[in-house]
Chain A
């Protein structure tokens, strides 16, 4: 009846690293808890009032002893710090070959989108053994993308992109939670991650009813629909920055009375804010005439349009987190 595993399932490369530190810490904590609790009980019994024991010269302080019991935890915690930090940096540095999946959280569902165009709700299909980067934002309140079997968790914030990556190691079906309390039906905001064999995954990606093409193609449609193409399109005669090759490049910006422009990298964040708050960082040499699209384009469409702009060619290296 109490069919309960001692340890939660490990299904990603991160899980193994995290569990390693967890076990080391568990060892340290159990050792000291048991030792000290046993000493408390031992002293309590041995030195109880009325017990006939030798109480001569009980020490009331000892600098040497204090140094020892500061020194031991210092060494242990520094050890954990070094190993933990290395793993932590690793968790936030996606490998170059990671494929990106877009995630939008809203009360109370997860909307996921593959660059190939496939959309999912509360389900995510990924191939085994390939790193996946999640590029996430929220439409309303803060959510948190949590897959216990992968040992990953990342808050998803409105008005901001956050990301995390994982590399599944075992095909199977794993729970997805929202870990940040997000209102009435928070407990029902979750779903499943399906880790599939790569061949099966390819089949899954291509078969299906969605026919509106890749995310970039969908983005192009949105680009036209929202009249972006009127000014930013290749044939446009309006003086607006052209978007070919802009993704990942350094664009010159003039703000206020600045004469010398400064440069910002045209990454996902910059493009998003250029659509929503176009007057905040205007490309040098252009008039601040673009209207704001605040409240008109949802977060998932923004991601789709950015994916299209990205497909117009990018300069230099892949944009890395922050």
Chain B
């Protein structure tokens, strides 16, 4: 912040208008533009270019999205037809023969464990922060690259170690990890407690450690880049919401990840060298060897959720930023209440650090402490209300264009609303006592992570694809993909609220062992959800077709296909190697749409506001 003040003084638009490029001298990035590497190995593989790294994260994230999706399909099959052999797969896997070609319960446990792990640590976080964070931050703040390009390269190349470790976890003795994505000890620390804990759990820990190292390197880079490398005139309060979302997310990661990392190392030590961080005294599992013990199983839950609750915001705040920019662009109207939107993101992030206990209301916590966590959790409703109402305010009186990106962004608002509001059921401790660990939670988290984050990712891909690859995606196909995804998404996840309210526990391999889950009502709903899930999965083929067809054969994209204001649209699509031939000067926040006195309905950040438009409102810049 001090840097910003030193650069720009305290005036709003006027100070910069007069003395343009003079600010660049302090940054020193005018004078050394390296030549683009010619060796393809350094150009496309071990590249230091933030755009290439972003696209590497995008492709690996989408690849794991396919894997995570297929795991989810298998989970859904078992929930709807637990007594029917799965088509094709059941004959192919030798271990199923012993179980009459039905899915053994261990298999189911591995499926949901790996579905959660893959989707969170290998899809959503890398896509939002890795792919879009890398690609967008330098372009949107007017920089030629990240502050530390080599560190950026290492942040991607830490991921393949995680990929190898997680792939290896599937094939070691005992099969894939099966302690749930939360890996609560003592289930995860005792090798005899579940087959996945025999060996694979160790690989799970190694995979997450590498993924965490990757994120940590990325977050340090993002914070430094955003603080140090903004173009002249790009004050903090002129940054697009996308950059704000990514900036605050990077801060969250930098502060929360060390805690997860140490927890992972502690569990790794417990499993490999026999420490007892999480093993209670005098404790024996499934006739295994006795353990000296002296540790606390609950310690893991505190450490894990101290990271993993902020991680929920790591998975939603960047998407909130993207959606804010997209809704404003396609409503042809300034974002409603720019500064309150920034403060709301910061408030959500800040509160995110003091709410982790709401995952543990039933864990054996003092009720007074539970009440404290209940209060802090409920306060998250306030900044979230600002976000939702301000998106609505942005659309109010706009000139709305329904592109595929806009449709996904609107769906994000509505689905995040439902996912967010269903959170107040869990926040209220007595109600949480009933719905905790039931399908109500599964519904809630998928409304946030699919309805929120994933629609946000789709919106961002449709919006920035032309800039990334220089070609347009097919709009009609994109709209069909959106409509089907939206319908099947709700078909899959909405009914989970109802069966959860009736006490359907999550993570049960065979729902039919219980009388009330065998009833036609719940079975019927489970089958409906599974069919919707298959529809949801198949619909993504449309997306893949659109993506790859457009990649090679889409129409060439102009520089600014959406008539947007942010800096990345002022340069070619795809951007040249070092982005900006000349570092641009920024005159205002990126939300100057339909400004009176401007002929076009947009005004790029590089063009000053016309004098007849009057001074800019302090809330807006």
Contact = CB atoms under 8 A, between A and B. Distances in A.
Given A66-B386, A185-B105, A37 B286 contact: no
B417 A33 contact: yes
Given A61-B617, A73-B385, A141-B187, A3 B521 contact: yes
B364 A77 contact: no
B591 to A, nearest CB: 8
B537 interface: no
Contacts of A251: none
A142 to B, nearest CB: 6
A80 B194 CA distance: 40
Contacts of B398: 43, 47, 55, 58
A273 to B, nearest CB: 8
A169 interface: no
A301 interface: no
Nearest to A58: B397
Given A40-B392, A158-B283, A295-B282, A55 B397 contact: yes
Given A8-B503, A47-B331, A59-B393, A18 B424 contact: no
Interface in A210-267: none
Contacts of A142: 184, 186-187, 297
A60 interface: yes
B298 to A, nearest CB: 7
A155 B432 CA distance: 13
Contact of A186 (B281, B396, B507, B522): B507
Interface residues of A, number: 92
B527 to A, nearest CB: 12
B433 A144 contact: no
A294 B418 contact: no
B284 A66 contact: no
B302 interface: no
A303 B17 CA distance: 78
B109 A159 contact: no
Interface string A41-63: 00110011100000100111111
Interface in B60-78: none
Interface in A164-205: 175, 177-188, 190
A134 B514 CA distance: 23
Interface residues of B, number: 105
A14 B520 CA distance: 28
A218 to B, nearest CB: 21
Contacts of A182: 187
Nearest to A140: B285
A258 to B, nearest CB: 21
B190 A155 contact: no
B378 A141 contact: no
Contact of A84 (B187, B393, B431, B591): B431
A308 B424 CA distance: 45
Contact of B385 (A21, A55, A69, A179): A69
Contact of B336 (A5, A61, A177, A273): A61
Max count, chain B CB within 10 A of own CB: residue among A39, A55, A66: A66
Contact of A85 (B339, B374, B397, B522): B374
Interface in B317-353: 331-340
A81 interface: yes
A287 interface: no
Interface string A141-173: 110101011011111011110100000000000
B397 A88 contact: no
Given A18-B434, A66-B340, A146-B505, A47 B400 contact: yes
Contacts of A62: 337, 393
A295 B396 contact: no
A185 B339 CA distance: 52
A60 B620 contact: yes
A289 interface: no
Contacts of A148: 434, 502-503
A85 B425 CA distance: 13
Given A7-B501, A186-B508, 15 more contacts: A18-B431, A21-B428, A48-B400, A61-B619, A62-B337, A81-B428, A155-B364, A158-B283, A175-B514, A175-B515, A177-B514, A180-B184, A184-B178, A190-B514, A293-B282
Interface of A: 1-5, 7-8, 14, 17-18, 21-22, 25, 28-29, 32-33, 36-37, 39-40, 43-44, 47-49, 55, 58-63, 65-66, 69-70, 72-74, 77-78, 80-81, 84-85, 87-89, 91-92, 107, 139-142, 144, 146, 148-149, 151-155, 157-160, 162, 175, 177-188, 190, 273, 276-277, 292-295, 322
24 contacts: A2-B524, A21-B428, A25-B425, A37-B414, A37-B417, A40-B395, A47-B397, A49-B332, A49-B400, A59-B393, A59-B397, A61-B337, A63-B619, A72-B385, A85-B429, A88-B370, A139-B284, A141-B285, A146-B437, A148-B434, A158-B280, A160-B280, A188-B510, A294-B293
Kindly list the 10 A-B residue pairs having the minimum CB-CB distance in the complex, ordered from nearest.
A159-B280, A58-B397, A148-B503, A4-B521, A187-B508, A294-B282, A77-B378, A181-B507, A183-B194, A61-B337
Interface of B: 105-106, 109, 178-180, 184, 186-187, 190, 193-195, 280-286, 290, 293, 296-298, 331-340, 362-364, 366-367, 370-371, 374-375, 378-379, 381-382, 385-386, 388-390, 392-393, 395-402, 410, 413-414, 417-418, 421-422, 424-425, 427-431, 433-434, 436-438, 501-503, 505-511, 513-516, 519-522, 524, 591, 617, 619-620
